[in-house]
Amino acid sequence: MMRHGRFALLALWLIAVAAPAWGAPPLESVLPNGLRVLLIPEPKAPVVTVQVWYRVGSRDEVSGKTGLSHLMEHMMFKGTERHGKGEFSRLIAGRGGTDNAFTSEDYTAYFETLAGDQVDLALELEADRMTGLAVSDDEFALERDVVKEERRQRTEDDPHGALTEHLSAVAYLAHPYRWPIIGWMDDLDRLTAADVRAYYRLHYTPANATLVVVGDVEPTALMGRITTLFGPVDGGPRPSRPAVIEPPQRGERRVTVKRDVQLSSVMVGYHVPKYSHPDSYALTVLAGLLAEGRSARLYRTLVYERQIALEAGGDYTALSADPPLLYVYGTAHPTTSAADLERALLDEIERLKTAPPGERELTKAKNQIEAQFLLGQDSSFYRGMQVGM
């Protein structure tokens, strides 16, 4: 499955403009069972991307059952009553296409890109696994072990991953953004196949999903086919998503993660507004100035000029449904202490006030964001992401 960390990187440049997509808005319909359908006809290339977005992510889990959304994503490739294990991906690949999925805090998305005249295959397969997923105890046990190994590699054995996880855990006291998308290891050990089946029945319904199709398609005919395939799927109620408001932070919080490593790492996070707030545009540019590439302030100053860090960067995931964190990080040079690196990171953030970017630096950051956005318009996948989430 796609690494969920990549979702944050993708989101950074998808917020360049307020409009969800370049050009005409998508054609929108809602089936009687609640399935939302968004079509973007694009005849420039004979390819099509099909995406199904389910409004469920790690924020919808409960304490003691973290990691269920991500494990559910894995199980969606393990077969249905009509198609055996792995057959979904084999059929797509056999027609020259690709498929994948990702889980975030707020959504889980599945997608296929293939030739335009093969769109029916992707739609048939997605409709099938929306209603007929088969979850056996044996397959669940095998896939849970896969996810546990993924967690070991990504977090248990990765100091940066461990630090990111602990940062979120201490930054959020009430909001479910505090737990990791992949789940805590103890929770993974306790999850059962019955948990997955119940989660599937609750969240994987048409009323909780958005179907996006982008590419070389004829909208009227395609909408008729979508209605035929997805219309009979039982709607069911749309699960509620209680609003959780993180209380204001009243002072610094600090966590130290001790591991047997040769190099120290430091990460600093700030509570910031989400995409719907007017400040999100300035924060996007700020994140670019500080952390986007090797010419950004953090890398240029700490790695090139002062040579006190081997790596420096940051991220701002503005497209999260609730207020996220803007964070910066650095990996210390062997001769640099964690305390000195922390001071240097904080000094660079403070320098934005005392030495704000000039016109040239500001224009460069804006141009990078705009260029990345415009390049994305040539991708049916990214155009689908812009309207699906």
User: Buried b / exposed e across 26-63, counting CB within 10 Å, b at 16+?
Assistant: beeeebebbbbbbbbbbeeeebbbbbbbbbbbbbbbee
104 vs 388: CA distance, rounded Å: 13
Catalytic residue among 61, 73, 105, 112: 73
Is residue 73 flagged as an active site residue? yes
Q: Show Cβ contacts of residue 267 under 8 Å, excluding neighbours closer than 6 positions.
A: 163, 164, 167, 327, 328, 329
Return the bridge partners of 41, or none.
215
Residues 6+ apart with CB under 8 A from 212: 26, 37, 38, 39, 40, 49, 50, 51, 52, 53, 384, 387, 388
Which amino acid is present at 231?
G
**181 CA to centre of own chain:** 10
Distance in angstroms (rounded) separating the CA atoms of residues 298 and 327:
12
Q: Which residues are catalytic?
A: 73
